[in-house]
Amino acid sequence: MVAPTLCYQLSYPRTQAIRKSWVVRQLIKLIIFTGLMGFIIEQYINPIVQNSLHPLKANFLYAIERILKLSVPNLYVWLCMFYSFFHLWLNILAELLRFGDREFYKDWWNAKTVEEYWRMWNMPVHKWMVRHIYLPCLRNGIPKGVAIIISFLVSAVFHELCIAVPCHLFEFWAFIGIMIQVPLVLITSYIQNKFRSSMVGNMIFWFIFCILGQPTCVLLYYHDLMNRKGRSD
């Protein structure tokens, strides 16, 4: 249950021994980056969202200004989270269990399309989706495009549950955000094939990743949560 994988197998590659000093160094880094995330959230993100209006209820220019202002600290927090969880925590678990398969992510920051990003940033989940959702769809005669949509649909449900259950807030913003990835996959793939330049696709990916995605969801969920608390009070 603790092994850093979602796919069950009878055996996995194993390492020879546990590097205790290496584990201690990673734990120290984990504590530092967790504290850094808390600092950025308290000092930069919370003041921005608390002094903002709901993006769908404010005027367009105001919403854009808030999202742009939130995008930089939000990106730093997300990068710290990614490094802390996928690079530090999963490697710590793997080291303690002598788990030899350490491919938890690939170079998603060089993604040329949205499709490449989703295939590279979270390898444990990607391998599970391919093994238990995508390939069974293909084996049952479902077209590739429909199989991709089904995979994103399953991912969207899980993303929504990860936010809705602990926050007791079902607003479906995460679900909508994941399903929007389907047309983005088609658009970024078309642009990449048209211009044949890795920079064009990569710039579009970072624009979508930094501005259109997470900062917008942060504002939407924050104000919906505050509205729910206000009604309950």
Residue 129: closest CA among 104, 105, 148 = 148
Instruction: Give me 137's structure tokens.
Output: 């769809």
Q: Supply φ then ψ for residue 114, to 5 degrees.
A: -65, -35
Is residue 166 classed exposed, middle or buried when 0-12, 13-18 and 19+ CB atoms within 10 A define those classes? exposed
* 91 neighbors 26 (Cβ within 8 angstroms): yes
3-class secondary-structure state, position 171: coil
Instruction: Give me 111's structure tokens.
Output: 């993604």
Catalytic residue at 159? yes
Q: Which residues contact 73 (CB under 8 A, 6 or more apart)?
A: 40, 41, 44, 45, 48
Q: Which of 54, 87, 132, 159 is catalytic?
A: 159
Cα distances (Å, whole numbers) of residue 16 to 181, 195, 208: 41, 48, 42
Instruction: Give me the active site residues, please.
Output: 159
